[in-house]
Amino acid sequence: MEEPSDDENFEPTPKKIKRDWLNSYCYSNKAMGMMKKMGYEDDKGLGKSNQGRLEPVIAVQQDGRRGFGLKLDTVHWSAGKWDPNCEDLEIPEPVIWLKIEGKNCGAYTLDELMAHMVTGPRKLSLDDETLFCDPEILDHILKAKTVFDDLNDTEKRRARSRCNPFETIRSSIFLNRAAVKMANIDSICEYMFTEPRDPQGNTLLGHNELLYFADICAGPGGFSEYVLYRKSWEAKGFGFTLRGANDFKLERFFAASPESFDAFYGDKDDGNIFDPSNQDSLNNYIRKHTPHGVHFAMADGGFSVEGQENIQEILSKQLYLCQFVTALKILRVNGSFVCKLFDLFTPFSVGLVYLMYKCFNQIAIIKPNSSRPANSERYIVCKNKMPETDAITNYFSTINHILLEQSEKQPEEQLDVIELYNRKEMLEDEHFMRYIIDSNNAIGNKQIVGLRKIAAFAQNLELKEPRHSEVRQECLKCWALPDKLRQAPEVKTTDRLLEELLRDWSKDRAWLNVPALELNGRTPLQNSILNVSDWHFMPIGRGEININGCTLFLCKSRGNLLRYTEHRKWELVESSFNVQPRSIFFGEIVFEYSGEGRTSQCVSALHIMDAICLGGIDIRRRPFLERVALCMKYARSLNKPFKKERTCGAIRCKPIFRLQDMSRFFNAMRPYVLKDNSQRFGYTLDDQRFLVPGGIIIFCELTMNFVTAYSKSHQQIYYFNTITRESQFKEQIEPRRFNEVFASFRHSYTRRHLWKWTSTLQVEEHATEENPKILYRSNFEKFIQRKLMSNPN
């Protein structure tokens, strides 16, 4: 790689120049003839003594109103300082952790912390902020930044793109570069965000628990797109950002589907993170969904500081503060946090970091490779939140109130918070101070090299960065991202999508049309249910609306939900449900009620019972109860029960009961008075709405030839093959024979039973009638008791 020339006659080569024009044999014959008549000879300069230049003057693209040939002294000086040997690439980049030492957050009180606060006139310069870095490094950074005052935006962008070895990665498959940065950070931090663990290495996720996260100051949503790309509907995100031009662009999420993302804008509905009521309302909203708080939070706030780049840290101080305090409010114990910062030279910023260091098990300040080396951007990663952070959280909130109050005053009357924590005490913490100084110096040196490299590339248009392709491939592999371009999801025909989702079940689709066995009397019951312990049931609706009915649903694309009709066709569901594409499941659309009598209201809801594929995740051959549990998790991820303005119907997985617990189900129901003054038995759902059942649908969890039995000697369940008379405990079943015992979706679907209630009399506790075509509750419960007595499990 060439270094910029110091020759004052050096002419930069424009991007579009054809270098072979400099070779004489490329001139036209006519031009060469004219030149030779005037005395031109190959490889000799023009002029009496051949003292002229050997090549023509190169046409350089003119930017702005700058004069031709103008030399920019600052650019020239900075470019001359660039040394290619100082650029050090590490893939993956190391992460140096700072583990908490000394007293932690629980040892502080609000009064004690308030004594640390120092106020004074607002600073507008970083020139003397050398307490937390090498003074020479700070001076070089500020000088290198001033170079860009002499370059226009086009020159800066072109030079930056050409010189940054990581530039061609761009946004990869995502909406923007922020998503790639999050992929980079997650990777080098051993996936601590998408696979969260406690300090002992145990997973933070409970059984079938969603991964809850928050994305603060995050529009248009790149961080969240990455998390949903990695976790799909197994994660549920809460977004908070300013409304307007920088709002979330969920419709542009191509790498992931945004159905499990819930944008919230606070009590003021404006997304202003500085507003304390917005912070608190976000916390309250999140804890309605997950009382313990989110597993991790991300913050990517920033704003334009054009012309004030050297004091970006000062201008961003309140943004830092509000992102930190919001994270502390919404995180659960052992939760983690990542936040974008800029320079960390002032006592205010370092004090913030110091107090966050006291709130977490460990922190790290990193400059990921995906962050352009010439900017001051860096990220603080806080791992495993400690308990008892209330004092520091309240202190941060108090500081924010002070800053808001001061902003209401006239400029000449305003005071600023200069320090959050006594600098003398921070200096005594040698462990922390060494870390901050080393971090600032390391990132500062990298930034200086990056800035000088841009200057060199802006001055010399012939310079090239040869490692673009190699670096791109290595980084994408390290971050577990595909090496392909971003593209919109393909909208496939119904038949083609069914072939993909049904796979080997697609060739013969006759099973789709198998009706449920209706239990119209006692005879079907006796003949079809051998062991009640193997069967489970779910309540279904009454068929109040014409699209009601238990059937298969297919989500082709966003907002494109189809249902399988009795005419064996797929038709569009007109009601709006927030279902993730590439899902095929068995369910029904029902009315859910709230209130009674004249105040009774009903809304349509989508109830899922069983599934083949959820958001592209194939679950068809998992055991029945495991599939139902995943359907519950899927519905929790997509449903937004606390949204003020709900534009989509509710989604939930139906409540499931063991058949032998039928009496418990009926005892849980109570009479409700509907709007027409009719009285119906209703089952209360988990959000105080209720369903008026019109029957139950019954599924078997085992295949046709198997039943469960109880071994008294081993005191556990075993599985008995009624054909071969063989018995096996669950741990004895070979993986390849697992599906011979446990029913796949197709097995459960084709063997389902339906008990429809044609009158309320059928479900009254002691009602009965000698009618062979009607099955009463009392008949069913007696049948269950007889079966349990003959085959107790």
Which residues are tagged catalytic?
Answer: 181, 300, 340
How many Å is the maximal CA-CA distance in the chain?
127
* Cis check: omega of the bond before 220, within 30 degrees of 0: yes
Tokens of 480: 């577990």
Q: Please give the full DSSP string across 586-646, using - where no structure is assigned.
A: EEEEEEEEES-GGG-EEEEEEEEEEEEEETTEE-TTS-HHHHHHHHHHHHHHH--TT-SS-
Range list of β-strands (E), 77-127: 98-99, 118-120
| Spatial contact of 699 and 750, defined as CB atoms under 8 Å apart | no
Helix then strand count (H, E) for the chain reads 22, 28
Tokens of 6: 């110091």
Euclidean distance between CA atoms 406 and 414, whole angstroms = 5
Instruction: Please list, in sequence order, all residues whose beta carbon lies within 8 angstroms of the beta carbon of residue 754, skipping any fewer than 6 positions away.
Output: 516, 517, 518, 519, 540, 550, 695, 696, 697, 698
Range list of β-strands (E), 515-582: 517-518, 535-540, 551-557, 560-564, 570-572
Strand partners, 627: none
Range list of β-strands (E), 242-281: 261-263
Instruction: Please list, in sequence order, all residues whose beta carbon lies within 8 angstroms of the beta carbon of residue 178, skipping any fewer than 6 positions away.
Output: 218, 222, 223, 300
For Cα atoms 286, 367, 444, give the angle at the middle one, nearest 5 degrees.
130
Euclidean distance between CA atoms 727 and 565, whole angstroms = 41
| Spatial contact of 564 and 589, defined as CB atoms under 8 Å apart | no
Q: Determine the residue type at 466.
A: P
User: CA Rg, the chain, in Å?
Assistant: 34
DSSP β-ladder status, 657-658 and 535-540: antiparallel
Strand partners, 658: 536
| Spatial contact of 76 and 168, defined as CB atoms under 8 Å apart | no
For Cα atoms 421, 422, 425, give the angle at the middle one, nearest 5 degrees.
110
Q: Please give the full DSSP string across 139-186, using - where no structure is assigned.
A: HHHHHHHHGGGGS-HHHHHHHHHHH-TTGGGTTTTSSSHHHHHHHHHH
